[in-house]
Structure 1
């Protein structure tokens, strides 16, 4: 028709064509693509229509590599931090791929690896507890050996000291014998009276008796001091273990406390003190052996010479084994005390 008028037949034909054109326009409209991501869960993104949440296949909102945008999940930007707390950025792993370590220490969520109760603190606590148990057990074993040896040695040394101490005391048996002899001489004129009685104010001692008693008393004193200090150090170790067993608010706080107390063991040289106790007991033993040689000198020279040979060999071997690590780094006779002296 002319004049811009449309016939009824043309109007009937234009309606299907308009519908078809609208459908074609809709299907051929450019879609907005979203880059693929290996992360599971939902990720907030910003589109031309405003902020929306990109859903993973598990959310039913489209595929990870496609353009699945669910308009029902659109949120305002200020809600994104709250959404991130509920999103699992790492999808669950297949249980068959878990190692024994993962089963014992479950992995943390992304961004929570340094939280107060994170896995790293649980791993740290178990590992350092194993190291502490080995260290404390070794020290306690050493102290137990020192205490047993100090007790046996003190008993043996005391028996010898009882006999040697008599040389530093008045011989009352001799005084009694001289007094009885003087009385008999006074009653019997045929028996000559002693010229003089012993001086009760003076103790008849010799240089040899002084050396014997001095060495043996010093030996016993060192052994008793060693036992006392060993008991004291064992109390320190018990207190350290007790501190480590005290509960804390979280794993990170426990790690800080453990580091402080563990550093205290090194700062106050507890290992050096324990090694020094062993050296002190060794000194006590050699003092006793030297005193024994002096004691045997007047009794029998042959026995004294044999004892001197064995004692000299033992002392030489002890000094060589103790000082060898100063020149040979691979020598197994290194002690904490020598290592500390070498480091100084």
Structure 2
């Protein structure tokens, strides 16, 4: 299962010590390794906790909206009562006049396309938000397990081997991509909820609908820019969770298309970027770009 792994495999951060120097060097190496792991795990936990807090608030809003919207998928009891009373009134009037009045026809109920679509969007939104919370919880559990297992051994050299073994799995199974999935799901959930708002208000109020179209259009345009610009400009400080996930899908798709079209060099380039990762691509771009490094102290405002 781990044929690519050997006990001599070394993580890239930090560099492994010379085993011949004794436990003291291993202890020093593990100290630096623990600092690296704690920073990595801290990022995972912070992202997961942020997702869990936002999911709790957003799921409450989504649930309240669904409770209100699903009522429009069934006949209104008030309308049915009004129809029955009108039918009864006609029957009474007809009996007084000695005429037979046919029963008042009650048309079959069919929910509006917009309300059906609205409920679908909001249910999908709720499902994605709950899924993001579940994945975030699993990531927190794995982070705790990673730190616990990597520190079970007392000997520094054994701890180093266990830590390298676990870190190999982190990289092999693309944990750096997995940690981006919960925020991406959450952002997609918000987008579906916004789309559901448009479908909900279209048959109710055109004024509110057009107001939401303008408002959501502005936010959507800004979001797309923040998502796509970092793909082409590594110096852009802004990004979204979709930026990372979309970047991987983009290079995987382009690598697949390149191999179909027999563009070997293009395939190698896109596959290298895909394997290296989003952040590594920014580092490579920075190292390949000639620039003057400003060593001056930042100016105080």
Is TM-score (shorter-chain normalized) higher than 0.5? yes
Q: Is the 8 A contact 1:185 1:193 kept in 2?
A: yes
Deviation at 1:175, TM superposition (A): 2.3
CA contact (8 A) 2:87 2:103 kept: no
Deviations 1:102-131 (A, max 9, x none): xxxxxxxxxxx6358522211111111111
- Given that 1:146 and 1:278 are in contact with CA atoms closer than 8 Å, whether structure 2 keeps it comes out as yes
The corresponding residue for 2:173 is 268
Corresponding residue number in structure 1 for 2:150: 244
Alignment CA distance shift 1:336-1:134 (3 Å): farther
Q: Report the equivalent of 2:296.
A: none
The separation in 1 between residues aligned to 2:50 and 2:219, in whole angstroms, is 20
2:245 — aligned with what?
337
CA distance in 1, matches of 2:31, 2:80: 74
The C-alpha deviation readout for 1:261-311, integer Å capped at 9, x for no partner, is 012111111221121221111111011111112222233323322221221
Residue ranges of structure 1 left out of the alignment (5+ in a row): 1-112
Matching residue of 1:205: 111
1:336/1:259 Cα in 2 relative to 1: closer, same or farther (>3 Å)? farther
> Secondary structure of 2:19's partner?
coil
Whether 1:214 aligns to 2:214 is no
> What TM-score do the two structures reach when normalised by structure 2?
0.69
Q: How many corresponding residue pairs? A: 229
Q: What whole-Å deviation, never above 9, does each CA across 1:32-75 have from its counterpart, x for those lacking one?
A: xxxxxxxxxxxxxxxxxxxxxxxxxxxxxxxxxxxxxxxxxxxx
What is the CA distance between 1:331 and its match in structure 2?
1.9
Kindly name which structure, 1 or 2, has the bigger radius of gyration based on alpha carbons.
1
Which of the residues 177, 187, 212 maps onto 2:82? Answer: 177
> Is the aligned partner of 1:196 residue 2:101?
no
In the other structure, the counterpart of 1:292 is 197
Give the Cα–Cα distance (whole angstroms) in 1 for the partners of residues 193 and 128 of structure 2.
11
Which ranges of structure 2 fall in alignment gaps of 5 or more residues? 1-17, 252-272, 275-301
1:317 counterpart residue number: 222
Work out the CA distance in 2 between the residues paired with 1:241 and 1:151: 27
Of 184, 189, 205, the residue aligned with 1:279 is: 184
Q: Residues 337, 207 of structure 1: CA spacing in aligned structure 2 closer, same or farther, 3 A cutoff?
A: closer
* 1:163-194 Cα shifts (integer Å, max 9, x gaps): 11111113233223323443344344359856
Shift of 1:328: 0.9
Which has the higher relative contact order, 1 or 2, with Cα contacts under 8 A spaced 6 or more apart? 2
On the 8 A contact 1:179/1:197 being kept in 2, the answer is no
Cα distance, 1:240–1:203 mapped onto 2, change above 3 Å: farther
Between Structure 1 and Structure 2, which shows a larger proportion of helix residues?
Answer: 2
Q: 1:180 to 1:304 in 2, by over 3 A?
A: closer
- TM, length-normalised to structure 1: 0.61
Distance 2:66 2:141 in 1: 31
Q: Say if 1:324 and 1:331, in contact at 8 Å, map to a contact too.
A: yes
SS of 2:126 mapped into structure 1: helix
The 3 A distance-change label for structure 1 pair 190 and 228 is: farther
1:134 and 1:184 map into 2 onto residues whose CA distance is 76
Query: What is the aligned-residue RMSD (CA, Å)?
Result: 2.4
1:235 Cα shift? 1.2
- Aligned equivalent of 1:228, options 134, 143, 165: 134
Counting only pairs closer than 5 Å after superposition, residues 13-32 of structure 1 correspond to structure 2 as none
